[in-house]
């Protein structure tokens, strides 16, 4: 009789060892579905979890399934919160998670949060609960002050990374940095760029001086330029540097001192900061330009000629974030010099001005798409575009993965033909078969959504504003985009029909945001009642829903899949549309 | 063909109840206010409709006539001036639903003056506030210096600074300046866009309406009992910024000092304010003496 190979006879620790080479969540999830024993083994040895929507699952559920996790990443508010479309108090509180993990994961080492509300109380709890805590990344978070940071500094003996990127921190005192004990020498990355007021500079200097492993240092605007050289001399091993304000009275010794300090930084690969740039000081970084792969000049109000001089020296540049002061001419120079460029972001210097203040048009982007063969990620703010340009870009760069175009005036048509930009974006999705993220702008009809539904099979995230004509547009996207995970829509004439017809699709996605559209309260209720595994949340600040006509369109709608049921922390202007809520409302 | 100044005629039938009052609001606001709107601004005719708390609104239509936000009127301020140019933008599309109606308005508005739409273009606050502070500072400095040289009379100087700050802001386009607002006794703070206002009156009115509404704390369950409590609470802070109120409006300036709002010209306030706090009067001792004729006392309150 043939003996059948039995997987369960494979020793557990061998399997565990094999699994340890598999880090990606997708693969780990696949492993856990093979059989019961693999599920068991895998869940005990999963060390890292990522929860893309903190309300999709409860902390208790996570801890129950994965008992020994060392690294947690959570995301809270919807993306449009970045643009003030999500009212304050909406939610995204991380405290319940930290509270649960304080007992569930005493060995937790890393916490990464994005768009969550973090209080000082939370930070204090982190500081005292996790003995081996190493990494804290707070990206676009809010709700805490420098007191909370002081608690982290004082108690986390082995802290490696403290990264506050773009968070809103209440600045109560610059002294929090002094709470790091002199024995703390483990710091690898420190990002305090978002802090408004001064930190104690002597504490910063001492910190930098005793951290031999420091690779990333991002200072805040308050750190003056004449202090930068000293810091650099203490940390010549830096790989990523964010300067403070890049301005000073013009004194030759400051410039030469700075240039000398930069020459000593042989490992420098990335730079950012550059607030209030005085162009005369830019030559100080020329010694490191050829080594730079990442350059963030998006706060540098410097005119095109100085930018061109700088950028043309960065021959190994892979990522550039810059203001539209670079203009078409600068982008042309960029295309000629930086053949390794992968990511370009051009931000508007005067986003609310009516007239263009710089000569930045679609030509700049077309140039870069022609000259930079590795260009795959674009965020571009400008004031005019054409279908021709989009088609050219699409043909030049079929390897495009992220394409976000923001034509500043809503519903701007093709400036040459005055037609909608449907065909242009259609070319993008047709030619760029691996496109994962797309943001639309300009005048767009239902047509563009037809193209997207037909071609954008790998598209995971789509952002739409002031576009479309009928529900058919939304229907094309929901029925055609197989890989869609996140859809965010504002000010589009999409209503009930497409949403209700594609209700099942919503369970395959992380979330859907619709604001200032035409989805009625009635449809929201229906969706909420019919789809128990979706949380259908209506955000409406106009008043209690029970006095609102059923056919009235809701202000904002946020739908996300969840196994945790309705959340408990909804403020007064957020309503869940499930069965129980519906009974109370009617 | 739709007309830019009657946005709601094209809306689905459900909106028709509030159409009339919305138009009234539209007309009044474009006459009254020279300031752009923002997501928190209520074009509130609640005062004349006799509104107070939610429970006083009997008719559903009346209720929604009262509670309007700028999101419904992205082009409110410049709608009158945009009529002439509306034809060109309207010829682009012929859709009639509410969403695009709104956006066509905003295009028409933008064609003339500034884009009024909240959260557009999609740029984070950190970037916006960076440009705002720079612009406001340079405008204020320029105007202040030139005026000081020309005119020694204090009142005129202050007036001009205030005006230049507003006009400068408008000429360059409306930027946002979001600051946090907390009210004593309410755990959840809010944010308000100061650049949506050009004077203390509208700011105070906005804040009063903002904190007038019920918001729950982070609570476990929403029972009907809790909802009842919320309604009761909503009527408590009524005369917020009246001189006789239990609360005063204060702000923290760049030096970290807490000041009473209203003592300095609006433009200077914009430059130095970091955040706002609606403070209990009992705690407000020792702050700078308030002006006796605070402008918000003149506002009529409904019966």
Residue B200 pLDDT: 85
Q: What is the pLDDT of residues A78-104, one digit of tens each?
A: 999 999 999 999 999 999 999 999 999
Per-residue pLDDT for B303 more than 60?
A: no
Reduced to 3 states (helix: H, G, I; strand: E, B; else coil), residue B18 is helix
Find residues 479-508 of chain A whose CB sits inside 8 Å of chain B: 490-495
Instruction: Give the residue with greater pLDDT, B147 vs B272.
Output: B272
Nearest residue in A to B171, CA atom = A353
Longest Cα–Cα distance in chain B: 65
Structure tokens belonging to residue A81: 């919160």
CA nearest to B270, candidates B120, B164, B115: B164
* Higher-pLDDT residue of B106, A295: A295
**From CA B282, how far away is CA A467, in angstroms rounded?**
52
Q: What is the ipTM of this complex?
A: 0.90
Residues 325-384 of A with CB under 8 A from B: 347-354, 381
Percentage of chain A lying above the pLDDT 70 cut: 97
Please report the pLDDT score of residue B266 as a whole number: 85
Q: Do B110 and A354 touch (CB under 8 A)?
A: yes
- CA atoms of B29 and B38, how far apart (whole Å): 13
Cβ(A306)–Cβ(A327) below 8 Å: no
Residue A556 confidence (pLDDT): 96
| Helix locations, A160-220, DSSP H | 201-209
The Cα–Cα gap between A355 and A92 comes to 38
First to last CA, chain B: 42
Q: How high is the pLDDT of residue A126?
A: 97
Per-residue pLDDT reduced to its tens digit, B173-220: 446 678 888 888 887 788 888 888 888 888 888 888 777 654 433 332
From A242, A195, A193, select the one nearest A215 (Cα to Cα): A242
Q: Which residues on B lie below 8 Å from A552 (Cβ)?
A: 14-15, 64
Q: What is the pTM of this model?
A: 0.74
Whether the CB of A518 is below 8 Å from some CB of chain B: the reply is: yes
Q: What span, in angstroms and rounded, lies between the C-alpha atoms of A251 and A237?
A: 27
Instruction: Residue A379: list chain B partners with CB under 8 A.
Output: none
Examine the pLDDT at B171 and tell me if it is beyond 70: no
Residue B90 has pLDDT above 70, yes or no: no
Interchain CB contact of A580 with B (< 8 Å): no
Tell me whether A89 touches chain B (CB under 8 Å): yes
| Joined tokens for residue A268 | 């420098």
* Residues in chain A closer than 8 A to B188 (CB atoms): 88-89, 571
- Tell me what pLDDT residue A101 has: 98
CB-nearest partner of B117 from A410, A412, A568: A410
Predicted local confidence at residue B77, as pLDDT: 34
Q: What is the pLDDT of residue A581?
A: 59
Q: How far is A208 from chain B (nearest CA, A)?
A: 26
Q: Pull the structure tokens for residue A22.
A: 């598999």
From the list A210, A209, A215, A216, the residue with the least C-alpha distance to A192 is A216
Looking at residue B147, what is its pLDDT? Answer: 52
For residue A4, pLDDT beyond 90: no
Specify the pLDDT at position A172. Answer: 87
Residues linked to residue A392 through DSSP beta bridges, in sequence order: none
Separation in Å, CA of A89 to nearest CA in chain B: 6
The count of other CB atoms within 10 Å of the CB of residue B153 is 9
User: Which DSSP category does A554 fall into?
Assistant: P
Mean pLDDT in residue range B9-22: 35
Angle, CA B219 vertex, CA A581 and CA A566 arms, to 5°: 35
* Backbone φ/ψ region at A19: left (φ over 0), alpha (ψ -120 to 50), beta: alpha
Residues linked to residue A487 through DSSP beta bridges, in sequence order: A462, A512
* 8 Å CB contact of B71 and A408: no
**pLDDT value of residue A353:** 82
Average pLDDT of the residues in A9-23: 88
How does residue A149 score in pLDDT terms, banded at 50, 70 and 90? very high
Q: What is the pLDDT of residues A412-434, one digit of tens each?
A: 999 999 999 999 999 999 999 99
Contact by Cβ (8 Å): A462, A452: yes
- DSSP assignment of A69-95 equals --EEEEE-S-GGGGGT-S-TT---B-H
Average the pLDDT over A368-377 and give the result. Answer: 98
B25 has a pLDDT exceeding 60: no
Interchain contact, B100 vs A353, CB within 8 Å: no
How far A227 CA lies from chain B's nearest CA (Å)? 22
For helices A422-431 and A387-396, angle between their N-to-C axes, nearest 10 degrees: 10
CB-based contact, A121 to chain B, within 8 Å: no
- Interface contact A411-B173, CB threshold 8 A: no
Please give the pLDDT value at position B143: 55
The torsion region of residue A276 among left (phi > 0), alpha (psi -120 to 50) and beta comes to left
Q: What is the mean pLDDT of residues A555-577?
A: 95
Q: Do A406 and B218 touch (CB under 8 A)?
A: no
The better pLDDT of the pair B225, A388 is held by: A388
Q: Give the residue from A169, A177, A253, A174 showing the smallest Cα distance to A217.
A: A177
Q: Which helix (H) or strand (E) holds B227?
A: helix B224-234
Distance CA A536, CA A559 (A): 5
Average pLDDT, chain A: 94
DSSP 3-state of A506: helix
**How many angstroms separate the CA atoms of B90 and B206, rounded?**
32
Per-residue pLDDT for B4 more than 70? no
Write the DSSP string, B237-298.
Answer: S-STTSTTSSEEEEEEETTS-EEETTSS-HHHHHHHEEEEEEEEGGG-TTSPPPPTT-GGGG
Which pLDDT score is estimated for B153? 44
Element (H, E) at A448: helix A446-455
Instruction: Give the pLDDT of residue B285.
Output: 72
Query: In degrees rounded to 5, what are phi and psi of residue A582?
Result: -60, -40
The answer to whether A465 faces chain B, any CB pair under 8 Å, is yes
Contacts of B113 in chain A (CB under 8 A): 354
Mean pLDDT throughout A458-480?
Answer: 97
Amino acid A298: pLDDT? 95
Task: Identify the bridge partners of residue A514 per DSSP, sorted by sequence position.
Answer: A489, A557
Indicate the range of A253-257, A293-297, B80-84, B137-141 predicted with least confidence: B80-84
Alpha helices in A105-176 (DSSP H): 120-129, 146-155
In the predicted model, what is the mean pLDDT of residues B130-135?
59
């Amino acid at each position: 009789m043939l003996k059948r190979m039995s997987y369960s006879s494979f020793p557990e620790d061998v399997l565990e060892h094999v699994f340890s080479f598999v880090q990606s969540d997708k693969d780990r999830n696949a492993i856990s579905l093979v059989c019961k024993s693999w599920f068991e083994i895998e869940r005990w040895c999963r060390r890292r979890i990522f929860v893309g929507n903190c309300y999709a699952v409860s902390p208790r559920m996570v801890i129950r399934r994965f008992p020994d996790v060392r690294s947690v990443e959570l995301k809270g508010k919807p993306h449009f919160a970045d643009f003030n479309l999500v009212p304050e108090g909406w939610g995204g509180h991380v405290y319940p998670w930290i509270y649960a993990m304080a007992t569930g994961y005493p060995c937790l080492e890393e916490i990464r949060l994005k768009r969550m509300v973090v209080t000082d109380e939370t930070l204090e709890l982190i500081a005292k609960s996790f003995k081996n805590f190493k990494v804290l990344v707070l990206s676009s978070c809010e709700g805490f002050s420098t007191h909370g940071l002081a608690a982290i500094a004082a108690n986390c003996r082995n802290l490696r990374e403290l990264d506050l990127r773009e968070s809103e921190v209440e600045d109560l005192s610059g002294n929090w940095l002094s709470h790091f004990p002199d024995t703390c020498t483990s710091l690898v990355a420190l990002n305090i760029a978002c802090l408004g007021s001064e930190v104690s500079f002597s504490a910063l200097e001492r910190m930098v001086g005793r951290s031999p492993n420091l690779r990333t240092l991002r200072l805040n605007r308050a750190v003056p330029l004449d202090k930068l050289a000293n810091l650099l001399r203490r940390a010549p091993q830096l790989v990523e540097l964010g300067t403070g304000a890049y301005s000073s009275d013009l004194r030759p010794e400051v410039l030469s001192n700075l240039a000398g300090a930069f020459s000593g930084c042989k490992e420098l690969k990335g730079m950012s900061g550059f607030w209030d740039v005085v162009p005369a000081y830019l030559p100080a970084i020329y010694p490191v330009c050829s080594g730079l792969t990442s350059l963030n000049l998006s706060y540098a109000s410097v005119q095109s000629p100085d930018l061109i001089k700088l950028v043309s020296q960065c021959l190994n540049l892979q990522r550039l974030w810059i203001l539209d002061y670079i203009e078409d001419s600068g982008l042309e120079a960029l295309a000629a010099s930086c053949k390794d460029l992968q990511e370009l972001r051009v931000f508007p210097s005067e986003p609310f001005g009516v007239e263009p203040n710089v000569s930045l048009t679609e030509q700049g982007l077309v140039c870069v798409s022609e000259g930079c063969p590795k260009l795959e990620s674009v965020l571009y703010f400008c004031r005019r575009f054409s279908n021709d340009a989009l088609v050219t870009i699409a043909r030049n760069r079929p390897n495009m993965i992220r394409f976000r175009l923001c034509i500043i005036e809503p519903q701007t048509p093709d400036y040459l033909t005055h037609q909608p930009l449907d065909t242009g974006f259609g070319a993008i999705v047709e030619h760029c078969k691996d496109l994962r993220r797309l943001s639309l702008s300009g005048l767009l009809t239902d047509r563009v959504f037809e193209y997207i539904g037909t071609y954008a099979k790998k598209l995971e995230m789509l952002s739409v504003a002031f576009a479309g004509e009928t529900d058919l547009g939304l229907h094309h996207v929901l029925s055609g985009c197989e890989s869609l995970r996140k859809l965010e829509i504002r000010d589009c004439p999409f209503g009930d029909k497409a949403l209700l017809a594609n209700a099942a699709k919503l369970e395959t996605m992380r979330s859907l945001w619709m604001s200032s559209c035409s989805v009625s309260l009635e449809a929201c209720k229906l969706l909420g009642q019919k789809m128990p595994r979706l949380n259908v949340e209506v955000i409406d600040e106009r008043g209690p829903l029970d006095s609102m006509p059923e056919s009235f369109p809701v202000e904002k709608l946020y739908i996300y899949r969840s196994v945790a049921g309705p959340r408990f922390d909804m403020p007064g202007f957020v309503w869940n549309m499930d069965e129980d809520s519906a009974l109370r409302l009617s | 063909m739709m007309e830019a100044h009657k946005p709601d005629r094209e809306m689905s039938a459900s909106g028709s109840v509030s159409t009339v009052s919305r138009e009234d609001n539209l007309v009044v606001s474009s006459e009254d206010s020279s300031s752009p709107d923002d997501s928190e601004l209520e074009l509130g005719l609640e005062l004349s409709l006799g509104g107070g708390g939610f429970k006083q609104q009997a008719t559903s239509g009346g209720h929604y006539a009262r509670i309007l936000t700028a999101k419904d009127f992205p082009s409110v301020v410049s709608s009158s001036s945009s009529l002439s140019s509306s034809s060109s933008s309207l010829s682009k599309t012929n859709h009639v639903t509410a969403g695009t109606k709104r956006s066509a308005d905003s295009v028409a508005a933008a064609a003339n003056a500034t884009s009024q739409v909240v959260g557009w273009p999609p740029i984070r606050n950190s970037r916006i506030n960076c440009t705002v502070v720079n612009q406001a500072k340079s405008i204020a400095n320029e105007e202040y210096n030139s005026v000081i040289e020309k005119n020694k009379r204090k009142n005129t100087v202050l007036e001009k600074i205030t005006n230049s700050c507003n006009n400068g802001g408008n000429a360059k386009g409306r930027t946002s300046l979001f600051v946090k607002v907390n009210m004593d006794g309410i755990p959840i703070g809010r944010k308000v866009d100061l650049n949506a206002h050009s004077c203390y009156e509208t700011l105070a009115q906005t804040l009063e309406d903002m904190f007038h509404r019920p918001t729950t704390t982070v609570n476990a369950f929403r029972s009907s009992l809790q909802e009842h409590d919320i309604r009761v609470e909503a009527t408590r802070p009524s005369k917020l910024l009246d001189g006789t109120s239990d609360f005063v409006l204060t702000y923290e300036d760049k030096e970290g000092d807490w000041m009473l709002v209203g003592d300095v010209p609006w433009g200077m306030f914009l430059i130095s304010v970091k955040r706002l706090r609606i403070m209990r009067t009992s705690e407000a001792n020792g702050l700078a003496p308030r002006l006796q004729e605070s402008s918000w006392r003149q506002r009529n309150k409904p019966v």
